[in-house]
């Protein structure tokens, strides 16, 4: 197989297929038992020696042969062994023993993307550190403040187990390991509270999102009776007990869970998610709110688990996207664009941050869920229109999925 693309110009129609990883995955799909790459001509660069970074672990060997003439000239037997990359990471755990039968788990993941050695970054620039101030130093900091407060505090109906999870960014690995090797039996856990990205409370909208309120009947009444008047924070709730953070691992053990989040932003999974952009006052509001909520559940007898209907979005599969970041905390009608990825169909159509998408083709878009449903109707190469409002204007932008 050739490395690179037959057309190296910007916005080439081959772009979506030219990545090494895409080619390997396609080869696997068509039953390849190995891939040998070479260059189509001498102008192509050799791939970096670190193919393991650009290719997620695959079950087949992938080789690169530098000399293009070798391929046709010789018969060769190639032996290779596929080794799985293994690393050890650690969950860091603290326990406050109030000598009670049940325990509340409070967790926040402490890993992030580092220098993007394992992928996951949204930047193509190499060698940049990803500090992850919001994702998730902010959640860990809130957890630590709760440790301080709860270890000498008045809420003693349960014990508290604090876990800084590792491997979250690689697929909830730390929390998955924990629930399979629990230090306290899972049926003795009253509930799990998870913090992932609490550092970017919008200072005008002041919305704190609480996911998982459907996992127990105690959550809604508790949330409704917490006064947020003094700092005017707004609570936005979602029923589903699962999502893309560590609370999900506990939900599947029938443990009631809540997940707290101050919202998506343009620095998500980029080196620019850094300390200077943290809203410390907002973090304190979030902490204080969560502490009050723990106070409420200190008064309830038990926290029964109820399974939730998962977000519809989890069941919608789509093959194309516009390459935009939806504003998950926007509560008007439509989808507010919170970021536009360069050179993706949305960008090419002229979408800008702040635009509100109200229609995709003939499909009305009143929410993120509806946007995803509409996307699932399209295939690569399809043309459509995006109807938006920008300020007081309504505009119709032609777009092509790729």
The residues that touch Zn ion, with contacts defined as CB under 5 A, are 135-136, 196
**Shortest CB 108 distance to Zn ion, Å:** 9
User: How do 103-109 and 159-165 pair as beta strands?
Assistant: parallel
Give the tokens for residue 98. Answer: 């109030």
Cα 193 to Cα 243, 249, 261, 344, distances in angstroms:
13, 12, 11, 36
**Shortest CB 79 distance to Zn ion, Å:** 41
Report which DSSP code applies to 187.
G
**Chain centroid, CA 244 distance in Å:** 5
3-class SS string, 208-249: EEEECHHHCCCHHHHHHCCCCCCCCCEEEEECCCCCCCCHHH
**Closer CB to Zn ion, 35 or 108, in the complex:** 108
**Shortest CB 134 distance to Zn ion, Å:** 8
**Shortest CB 131 distance to Zn ion, Å:** 13
Q: Is 54 left (phi over 0), alpha (psi -120 to 50) or beta?
A: alpha
**Shortest CB 32 distance to Zn ion, Å:** 34
**Closer CB to Zn ion, 196 or 327, in the complex:** 196
Contact (CB, 8 A) for 389 and 356: yes
**Shortest CB 121 distance to Zn ion, Å:** 13
Q: For residue 401, which phi and psi values (nearest 5 degrees)?
A: -80, 145
Contact (CB, 8 A) for 337 and 351: yes
**Closer CB to Zn ion, 135 or 257, in the complex:** 135
User: How do 356-360 and 383-390 pair as beta strands?
Assistant: antiparallel
């Amino acid at each position: 197989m050739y490395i690179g693309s037959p057309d190296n110009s910007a916005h080439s129609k081959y772009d979506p297929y030219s990545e090494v990883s895409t080619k390997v995955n396609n080869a696997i799909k068509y039953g390849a038992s190995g891939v040998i790459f070479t260059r189509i001509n001498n102008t192509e660069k050799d791939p970096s020696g670190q193919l393991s970074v650009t290719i997620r672990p695959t079950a087949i060997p992938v080789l690169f042969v530098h000399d293009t003439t070798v391929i046709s000239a010789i018969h060769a037997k190639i032996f290779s062994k596929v080794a799985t990359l293994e690393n050890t990471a650690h969950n860091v755990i603290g326990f406050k023993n109030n000598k009670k039968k049940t325990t509340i788990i409070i967790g926040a993941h402490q890993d992030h993307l580092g220098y993007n050695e394992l992928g996951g970054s949204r930047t193509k620039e190499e060698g940049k550190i990803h500090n992850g101030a919001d994702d998730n130093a902010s959640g860990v900091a809130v957890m630590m403040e709760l440790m301080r407060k709860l270890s000498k505090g008045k809420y003693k109906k349960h014990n508290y187990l604090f876990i800084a999870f590792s491997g979250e960014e690689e697929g909830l690995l730390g929390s998955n390991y924990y629930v399979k090797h629990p230090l306290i039996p899972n049926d003795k856990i009253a509930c799990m509270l998870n913090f992932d990205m609490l550092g970017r409370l919008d200072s005008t909208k002041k919305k704190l999102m609480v996911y998982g309120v459907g996992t127990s009947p105690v959550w809604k009444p508790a949330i409704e009776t917490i006064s947020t008047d003094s700092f005017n924070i707004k609570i936005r709730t979602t029923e589903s007990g699962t999502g893309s953070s560590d609370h999900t691992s506990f939900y599947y053990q029938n443990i009631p869970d809540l997940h707290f989040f101050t919202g998506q932003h343009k620095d998500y999974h980029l080196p620019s998610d850094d300390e200077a952009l943290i809203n410390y006052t907002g973090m304190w509001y979030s902490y204080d709110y969560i502490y009050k909520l723990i106070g409420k559940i200190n008064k309830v007898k038990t926290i029964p688990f109820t399974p939730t209907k998962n977000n519809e979005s989890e069941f919608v599969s789509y093959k194309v996207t516009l390459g935009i970041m939806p504003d998950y905390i926007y509560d008007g009608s439509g989808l507010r664009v919170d970021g536009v990825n360069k050179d993706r169909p949305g960008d090419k159509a002229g979408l800008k941050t702040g635009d509100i998408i109200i229609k995709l083709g003939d499909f009305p878009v009143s929410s993120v869920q509806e946007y995803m449903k509409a996307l699932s109707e399209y295939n690569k190469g399809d043309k459509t229109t995006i109807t938006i409002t920008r300020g007081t204007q309504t505009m119709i932008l032609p777009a092509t999925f790729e």
